[in-house]
Chain A
Amino acid sequence: MLPYIVLGLFAGAIYALASLGVVLTYRTTGFFNFAYGGEAMFLAYVFWQLRDRWHLSQWISIPLLLLVIAPILGLILEGVFRTMASRSADVQIVVALGTLAFFTSFVPIVFGGTPHPLQSIFSPTASFTVSGTIVTANQAGTIVLVVAAGALLFALLRWSRFGTATRAVVDNRDLAGLIGVNANRVGQVAWIIATMFAALAGVLLSVQENLVTYVLPFLVLYSFAPAILGRLTNLPLAFAGAIALGVINSVLQKYGSAGFVAKLEGSIPYLALFVLLVAYGKRLVEVRSSVRLITGAHVIGDNTKRYALVGGALAVIGGTVLPQTLGASTVGDLAQAMAYAVVALTVVVLTGWTGQISLAQMSFAGIGAVVAAHIAGTHGGLFPLAILVAVLISVPVSLLIGIPSLRLSGLFLALATMAFALLMDNLVFSSNSIGGGLTGLNLTAAKIGPLRFESAQSQFYLCGVALIVTAFGALWLRQGPVGRRLQMVRDAPDAAATLGASLTLTKLAVFAACAAVASIGGALLAITQGTIAPVNFDSSHSLALLLAVVLGGRSLISGAVFAGGVQLVQLLPLNANVHTYLPLGIAVSVIMVAREPEGLPRVSLQQLRYCSAVLYRRRMRELLRLRPTTARTAHAVGSNV
């Protein structure tokens, strides 16, 4: 038993460090740092670069990492996030997720994508024995380091002026300002400390797990459950929770480390995250600045007719011209992109129209794809039945997640859907009998009544019709009572409630409908892909989907079409650089335009306006001349009275 406990303490210690970082920034700045794992990974790579590639001594590289590079990164991030402080919760979440995507795409570009081992910062070979159990220097060193870091933070918060100031800010942001506490400064220090912890956690974790770009950010997600255990505010509880999680996980390994049990063990942190979110429920309160948050307001039905006309015309032209002029493989890619856009549409409805962030839409699509592959048969004869079953599975599943988590506010819902997506990855899609293992599942055609959709062209039409039907269906619903209900719940939830509109019921209905449509989109994706690899439906794809939609305009149908376009670019056999840099470009752009509910289209319009303003210099000069005059008038009026 003892060896397992030692291992557990060791693993838990690293997550404890990460939990402290996440909680510290959240309680002082109100910003939940989804990107924490990305930062940790980036900093671990930086350390590797310094020590192992440039052969700097550890006595130089560690202080350089912890005292220079991490604080600078912390300050940069604090700067980025502070500009979002007065934005609505969904914008903040999207920016944090964009930052996560930035790190996961940036690190492989800079440091290469191949995994590297990382040698311990402690003596790699030394070890000693405690009552018969071998403890390596790395394990002991890690535990000591983490406990020291935790104690230091505790002392800092307890006895230093920074601690007093933090307490003032946490208690009441506005009052803190009044008594002379600079909340921004406090936030900066919190970010610096948190990023230093990220560096430590990243290095310590990489020693254990190697430097792997697609694993590290997700391992750090383990620390979210303890952070929630401390309700994102209680540091000691988060710390203790992480240690406990590590020990529980490790002790369980004693009882079985293969097959489903192993998967279950790997899922415990996500399961814990979900269960804690649900169990705390309404007791989870978001830390907010006192500024009243205004989400971008959109007019229902504004321009819809024009969009519909233009969109319809483009669809007809595209539908007649493209399949005739393009090669079969490109037409197939187009079909796949359109199926993807159907899934993306559910993100528009959820995020743009009701303000709920779901990080699980690709998981619902995955349910559709897997069900279709299992039920429709190789020739797709039972495709309609498969769709029905997919809907019959995804809707109850969505209710299962939705009923407990939809009464939570934005951030916690995002976390709950993320936990669900990770559980789906770990427990369901990775199962060989469900997901088809390494070979995947095959589904190359669909038969609907007398129609057979096997050729790329026919699938193009199938997906095109599906996209048009869902897009116009959504628009039509949005213009009617359903749209009004969504808008009222979003614009003024209190007023909506007092009028008799049930917030939870509305959200739940939308969530379930979106799960159903996503699963249908997933089934379509399945037939256009032919071979279904469950990894294409994992949580990181849900994240990529969300970001693409935000960039294209999360409140517009065009957001979904844009996401489909991004997918198309990734499918087309283009220069490899395009595929490498596209996710990075999207991540960076999302961070910049997240505040715009209408994404890039709106931003480019503003740029146009700005340009035209510069061109009309005369107008500008007029405007400039006007300002001093009004000021003087105001002054004159004031002195007369």
Chain B
Amino acid sequence: MSESLLAARGLTIRFGGLVALNEVDLDVAPSGITGLIGPNGAGKTTLFNVITGLLQPTAGDVRYDGRDIVRWSPQRRGRAGIARTFQRLDLFVGMSVRDNLRASWEASVPGGIFGRHARDGAALVDAMIERLGLEDVADRRAGTLPTGIGRMVELGRALCTRPRLLLLDEPSSGLDGTETARFRDLLVEITGTAQHDRPAPAVLLVEHDVRLVMEVCEQITVLDFGQQIARGTPQEVRHDPAVIAAYLGDSGAELTGARSTELTGARSTELTGARSTT
């Protein structure tokens, strides 16, 4: 698929005896939002780590913008326009929110540390703070923020590199209902509008809130036990028997239509347990 911005082929990674990714293929379109879902431990975060270069795959390759990047350092990938957030918040906890964003800008520009582009950076950071509604916490230390706001800061930090490809790892976990709704609007806005002189970034979204994924994604890839088990539009994925089985085990038949919100990443036992109480 030559029109993909990112194309991973046959990615395999082993941790000792555990095969965390097994011949995974993944395509991310140059615009819009691509979803990546799967139960806990499916390998989604590991796949992110491979794409961003924090982990080297045992086999397989990753093409980004037509180039093979699998041997690139994380830094080089970052500079080439791949940015991400972390499932477990990984903020620069000792810095203020503003400095988190500023540091990100400085890191992403060659020579950014020497203040060549300092003024551009300051403007970008201010705009980002406003856009994400972080004005009130701009001078607070990132380590002291609640998770919801921390996720916003991580998003802002990733956006400050002005990425072409943005990887979001469970960005709505730890957010409450209204925050999630706001986040969804923001996500749609980010992928819909060009930033400054750059086109809008393509997003690869890992999310356990399946309703959100179904709403915003154009294409969805489903992983289970490190294996790709389905791929397609939200409609196709929702009715895929393999997906239903992966999430619900034998009682998968219950999963249809609107109930798909229950695809919460929990395994069948937990899910049925939760249902019986309600």
Write the residues of chain A forming the contact surface with B, with a CB cutoff of 8 angstroms. 297-300, 480-482, 484-485, 487-488, 490-492, 494-502
Contacts and interface: CB of A to CB of B under 8 A. Distances in A.
Nearest to B108: A500
Given A481-B115, A487-B94, A491-B93, A498 B52 contact: yes
A498 B94 contact: no
A500 B78 CA distance: 5
Nearest to B86: A495
Contact of A488 (B73, B84, B103): B103
Contacts of B94: 297-300, 487, 490-491
In the A-B complex, the 4 residue pairs with the smallest Cβ-Cβ separation, listed nearest first, are A500-B78, A501-B107, A297-B94, A497-B74
B95 A487 contact: yes
A483 to B, nearest CB: 9
Interface in B15-67: 52-54
Given A487-B95, A487-B103, A495-B86, 12 more contacts: A297-B141, A299-B96, A481-B115, A482-B113, A485-B103, A488-B103, A491-B95, A494-B54, A497-B53, A499-B103, A499-B157, A500-B79
A485 B91 contact: no
Contact of B54 (A484, A485, A498): A498
A484 B106 contact: yes
A481 B114 CA distance: 7
B213 to A, nearest CB: 23
B106 A481 contact: yes
B161 A499 contact: yes
Nearest to A497: B74
Contacts of B82: 498
A473 to B, nearest CB: 16
Contacts of B75: 497, 500-502
B104 interface: yes
Contacts of B225: none
A495 B106 contact: no
Interface string B71-109: 001111111001110100011111110010011101110
A498 B74 contact: yes
A168 to B, nearest CB: 15
B143 interface: yes
Contact of A499 (B83, B93, B115, B141): B83
Nearest to A484: B103
B81 to A, nearest CB: 10
A300 B143 CA distance: 13
B203 to A, nearest CB: 16
B77 A484 contact: no
Contacts of B93: 297, 491-492
A484 B94 CA distance: 10
Contacts of B161: 499-500
B214 to A, nearest CB: 28
Given A494-B54, A498-B54, A501-B107, A484 B84 contact: no
B112 interface: yes
A485 to B, nearest CB: 6
26 contacts: A297-B93, A297-B143, A481-B102, A481-B112, A481-B114, A482-B113, A485-B103, A487-B99, A487-B103, A491-B92, A491-B94, A495-B90, A495-B157, A497-B73, A497-B75, A497-B78, A498-B53, A498-B54, A498-B74, A498-B78, A498-B84, A499-B78, A500-B75, A500-B78, A500-B161, A502-B73
Contacts of A497: 53-54, 73-75, 78
Contacts of A492: 90-93
Nearest to A502: B75
A289 to B, nearest CB: 17
Q: Interface centre among A490, A495, A497, by most B CB within 10 Å?
A: A495
Contacts of B52: 498
Q: Main SS of chain A's interface residues?
A: helix
A300 B99 contact: yes
Q: Interface centre among B53, B91, B104, by most A CB within 10 Å?
A: B104
Q: Interface centre among A298, A485, A488, A502, by most B CB within 10 Å?
A: A488
B92 A498 contact: no
Contacts of B114: 481
A406 to B, nearest CB: 15
Given A491-B95, A498-B77, A499-B157, A484 B90 contact: no
A490 B91 CA distance: 11
B157 A484 contact: no
B110 to A, nearest CB: 8
A496 B99 contact: no
B95 A300 contact: yes
A500 B158 CA distance: 11
Contacts of B112: 481
Contacts of B143: 297
A365 to B, nearest CB: 28
Contacts of A298: 94
B56 to A, nearest CB: 11
Interface string B131-170: 0000000000101000000000000011001000000000
A490 B90 CA distance: 11
Q: Interface centre among B54, B74, B107, by most A CB within 10 Å?
A: B107
A480 B78 CA distance: 22
A491 B115 contact: no
B256 to A, nearest CB: 30
A293 to B, nearest CB: 13
Contacts of A299: 94-96, 141
B107 A485 contact: yes
A397 to B, nearest CB: 25
Given A498-B84, A499-B107, A484 B74 contact: no
Contacts of A494: 54, 74, 86, 90
Contacts of A495: 86, 90-92, 157
A613 to B, nearest CB: 22
Given A495-B86, A495-B90, A495-B91, A500 B107 contact: yes
A495 B91 CA distance: 8
B73 to A, nearest CB: 8
Contact of A487 (B83, B84, B92): B92
Contacts of B141: 297, 299
Nearest to B49: A494
A488 B107 contact: yes
Contacts of B102: 481, 484
A510 to B, nearest CB: 12
Contacts of A502: 73, 75
B104 A499 contact: yes
Contacts of A481: 102-103, 106, 112-115, 118
A501 B105 CA distance: 10
A344 to B, nearest CB: 22
B87 to A, nearest CB: 12
Nearest to B76: A500
A481 B117 CA distance: 12
A488 B115 CA distance: 17
A495 B107 CA distance: 11
A479 to B, nearest CB: 10
Q: Interface centre among A298, A487, A492, by most B CB within 10 Å?
A: A492
Nearest to B277: A641
A355 B104 CA distance: 20
Nearest to B99: A484
B151 to A, nearest CB: 13
A487 B92 CA distance: 7
Nearest to A297: B94
Nearest to A555: B94
Contacts of B118: 481
Q: Interface centre among A481, A488, A498, by most B CB within 10 Å?
A: A498
A492 B75 CA distance: 14
A484 B92 CA distance: 9
Nearest to B110: A500
A298 B94 CA distance: 5
B150 to A, nearest CB: 12
Contacts of A487: 92, 94-95, 99, 103
B86 A499 contact: no
Interface string B175-206: 00000000000000000000000000000000
